[in-house]
Structure 1
Amino acid sequence: MYIQTQDDLLAFAQRAAHSSVLAIDTEFLREKTYYATLCLIQLATDDEIVLVDPLRIASLDALAPLFTSPSIMKIFHAGRQDIELLYDHLGVIPAPLFDTQIAAALLGYSQQIGYGNLVSALCGEKLKKSDAFTDWSLRPLSDSQLNYAREDVLFLPDMYAQMHQKLEHRGRLNWLNEDFDELANLENYVIDPFTRYRHLAHGSSLNRKALAAARELAAWRETEARARNLPRKWVLTDEQIVEAARRNLYSIDELFMVRGIKRKITVPEARELIARVQKVWKMDPSTWPELERSSRHSEPNVDGIIDVLSSIVRLRAEENNIAFQTLASHSDLVNLARGHFDLCRCMHGWRRSLIGLELLDALHGKISISIHNNKVSLTHLSAQHS
């Protein structure tokens, strides 16, 4: 069913309120705007599939109670962008939720398996992806587009049921709680403008004084991009911010020396930026930001240690039929090798008992690694000597 009217949306919401599941996918564009343009919402319940057209319907508020109902399981595949869109347009985070891509990694599939590949593996169906990169903002939508959109949620309820049963049988269903809680964490979808400097390309090359300037410039860019609904780089690029932050910004002329900035901002805006930078530079230098990774440049190379830890993770991942990166990411292993245990996801929850403690034993020389018959073998030395 293709929903293009408020009345049809309200009627669907009333029917869907009695469903046990709600599979969700979206189609959007984000090429020329800050906020993604929501072009279509695909929804599947126990009984029906509907395609909701946000470009034809004045308000989507009728969907909010469904997204927050504790009795309806919301099902996504790689749902972070979908959740971000729904939060931007409805102000709610769907919960409870289940992400089939995340769950698949605990059932032996690759870390970021695509929807089509998972449908093929679990449902035996091969999807056509011919409309994956079409312009979803154009109307009317073609029959091919509507069929493509429908298939994006068609198999999610069945895959959820299969995966739920398999995970429960293996005693792994509760392992997903931490990951799903993180996926539904509001902090992931509310951006503080004054934290954007952390994501600047080449920002790690700045000293603390320059980084304080970059924080102000990046925060201003974020606020302006939102207000104008333009991509960040259309307001100022990362390169322009970093180059400006390196300069002694005591005058507008100095700011305008950065290539391209004079064409992008007005004199009053330049004056505001200079004032903001000057204000923060007059503060106690201890208040200036410092990128965490900058403090680690002097730490020793740990590539060899990471290789050893990786071999242990790979072995346990294969034995337990879990994707390597789900068990322990590369950044986890780097932090472990450098002693930053509190930053390692593998040292918490189910990962700690399955791999984390064993990695600590390896770091403390309590494990030997050998190869027998072309297979890696681990020996716990404390157990051997007891």
Structure 2
Amino acid sequence: MITITTTEALADFCTRAASHPYVTVDTEFLRERTYYSKLCLVQMAVPGDAPEDAVLIDPLVDGLSLEPMYELFRDESVVKVFHAARQDLEIFFVEADVFPTPLFDTQVAAMVCGFGDQVGYETLVRKICKAPLDKSSRFTDWSRRPLTDAQKTYAIGDVTHLRVIYETLAQELENSGRARWVQEELQVLTNPSTYIIEPGEAYKRLKTRTNSGRFLAIARELARFREGYAQGRNVPRNRVMKDDALMELASTKPGNMQDLGRSRLLLREARRGEIAEGILAAVAAGLETNPEDMPKPVVTGREKLQVNPALADLLRVLLKARCEQEKVAQKLIASAADLDALAAGKRDVPALTGWRAEVFGNDAVRLCEGKLALAAKGQNVRVIEV
């Protein structure tokens, strides 16, 4: 098993990889103690059975530059194949401002090809490669050196089996004419906005149960401070303060260090120093927010959308029927919230755009407008023109 530890060796492999139609890629990383993922290992493989066709790349070695790999990622003549690529792509975007192009994600492709919702790599190895996969090393500490033989075997398996999976799914997509569907889905993965969290928008990730504009204004400022602090010092946001502590502070509105010390949920480290000062400043900023500048409550839930429940149920039946007919994962087309929005008269849901509209969205709108009906015949559901 080859482990690359020099820039020269990496450049040699990437030059050879550039002569192949595709390269499979995976990473191992840690994120428990940092805001941004710490890249610990990169695995890559090209078509072939020779030992040099699959390699491990150790980014923790002093003096090793990953630029040859990033240059390969920019080479549009070579498809870069990942499974569940989002976290891998975030690492490369943060580290080098680069996205692998063109991209192929076997998890997305498998959902389009009828393997179910968010199918795991192990499942695809078992179903397509007809091989077992030892996952015992999955949660080991990938930053420790030297790596064990078990870790190396596990890591290399994530790109060697991926070659067979990619070739199988790519052929199936070509036969079915659905390659365009996958490419539409992958556009969000190569959009920088997917990975950039603006501190001022961080509050939108919070789950609140209040419509109070003042509470939301304080929560927004606390979330802004937490996100900026965590990003600037590369620490997990929960190490600054957890969500439940943030909600408590937005409710109690501490005005000084003594008030802050009465918090039940705030971490001890956050009751003093820079974090404590940042919290008090954020609360003060929230209290000073003008009413017109306060966040508006996010309206969610079936009852708030004035959903027609019978129509929503019909849409669920139509979605299930269409997905069974097309052999595509339901979750890829529409969520329960999307169906409720449609039943409430909304028309700005993803299910009404691109290939989703062809498979489901167009008929869903016609069903809502009374132009289609559903009928059962045996175990099948038929769509009838009205």
Quote the residue 1:321 is aligned against: 327
The alpha-carbon deviation at position 182 of structure 1 amounts to 0.9
Quote the residue 2:55 is aligned against: 50
Quote the residue 1:245 is aligned against: 250
| More moved, 274-283 vs 363-372 | 274-283
SS of 1:178's partner is helix
CA RMSD of aligned residues (A): 2.2
Are the structure 2 counterparts of residues 236 and 206 from structure 1 closer, same or farther at C-alpha, using a change threshold of 3 Å? farther
Which of 94, 101, 108 aligns to 2:114? It is 108
Between the aligned partners of 1:100 and 1:252, the Cα distance in structure 2 is: 52
Is the contact made by 1:214 and 1:245 (CA closer than 8 Å) also made in structure 2?
A: yes
Aligned residues: 379
SS of 1:298's partner is coil
Is the contact made by 2:305 and 2:341 (CA closer than 8 Å) also made in structure 1?
A: no
The alpha-carbon deviation at position 255 of structure 1 amounts to 3.5
Quote the residue 1:22 is aligned against: 23
Which of 330, 334, 351 aligns to 2:336? It is 330
- Please tell me whether residue 119 in structure 1 is matched to residue 120 in structure 2: no
- Please tell me whether residue 11 in structure 1 is matched to residue 12 in structure 2: yes
Is the contact made by 2:41 and 2:57 (CA closer than 8 Å) also made in structure 1?
A: yes
Are the structure 2 counterparts of residues 267 and 158 from structure 1 closer, same or farther at C-alpha, using a change threshold of 3 Å? closer
Are the structure 2 counterparts of residues 304 and 377 from structure 1 closer, same or farther at C-alpha, using a change threshold of 3 Å? same
- Matching residue's letter, 1:22: V
Quote the residue 2:66 is aligned against: 60
- Please tell me whether residue 139 in structure 1 is matched to residue 149 in structure 2: no
SS of 1:155's partner is helix
SS of 1:94's partner is coil
- 1:1-386 aligned within 5 A: 1-47=2-48, 48-58=53-63, 59-200=65-206, 202-205=207-210, 207-261=212-266, 263-265=268-270, 266=272, 269-293=275-299, 298-342=304-348, 344-381=349-386
TM score, norm. by length of structure 1: 0.91
Is the contact made by 1:128 and 1:148 (CA closer than 8 Å) also made in structure 2?
A: yes
Between the aligned partners of 2:307 and 2:359, the Cα distance in structure 1 is: 27
The alpha-carbon deviation at position 368 of structure 1 amounts to 2.5
Quote the residue 1:384 is aligned against: none
Deviation sequence 1:262-316 (CA, Å, 0-9, x none): 7233255434433344345434322221243369863335443322111111111
Is the contact made by 1:236 and 1:264 (CA closer than 8 Å) also made in structure 2?
A: no
Between the aligned partners of 1:295 and 1:346, the Cα distance in structure 2 is: 18
Deviation sequence 1:317-341 (CA, Å, 0-9, x none): 1111111112322222122112221
Between the aligned partners of 2:115 and 2:136, the Cα distance in structure 1 is: 24
Are the structure 2 counterparts of residues 78 and 143 from structure 1 closer, same or farther at C-alpha, using a change threshold of 3 Å? same
Between the aligned partners of 2:24 and 2:36, the Cα distance in structure 1 is: 23
SS of 1:370's partner is strand
TM score, norm. by length of structure 2: 0.91
Are the structure 2 counterparts of residues 20 and 204 from structure 1 closer, same or farther at C-alpha, using a change threshold of 3 Å? farther
The alpha-carbon deviation at position 41 of structure 1 amounts to 0.5
Deviation sequence 1:231-273 (CA, Å, 0-9, x none): 2111111111111112344444334332243723325543443
Are the structure 2 counterparts of residues 162 and 267 from structure 1 closer, same or farther at C-alpha, using a change threshold of 3 Å? closer
Between the aligned partners of 2:316 and 2:67, the Cα distance in structure 1 is: 47
- Matching residue's letter, 2:377: H
Are the structure 2 counterparts of residues 374 and 261 from structure 1 closer, same or farther at C-alpha, using a change threshold of 3 Å? closer
- Matching residue's letter, 2:126: S
Identity, % of aligned pairs? 36
Deviation sequence 1:88-145 (CA, Å, 0-9, x none): 2222122210101101112111121111221222222222222222222222112221
The alpha-carbon deviation at position 150 of structure 1 amounts to 0.8
SS of 1:369's partner is strand
List 4+ stretches of structure 1 deviating above 6 A. Answer: none
Are the structure 2 counterparts of residues 29 and 206 from structure 1 closer, same or farther at C-alpha, using a change threshold of 3 Å? farther
SS of 1:2's partner is strand
Between the aligned partners of 1:204 and 1:93, the Cα distance in structure 2 is: 38
Flag structure 2 segments of 5+ consecutive residues without an equivalent.
none
SS of 2:296's partner is coil
SS of 1:41's partner is strand
Between the aligned partners of 1:274 and 1:256, the Cα distance in structure 2 is: 12
Is the contact made by 1:368 and 1:380 (CA closer than 8 Å) also made in structure 2?
A: yes
Between the aligned partners of 1:309 and 1:184, the Cα distance in structure 2 is: 31
Are the structure 2 counterparts of residues 231 and 238 from structure 1 closer, same or farther at C-alpha, using a change threshold of 3 Å? same
The alpha-carbon deviation at position 162 of structure 1 amounts to 2.3
The alpha-carbon deviation at position 16 of structure 1 amounts to 2.5
SS of 1:24's partner is strand
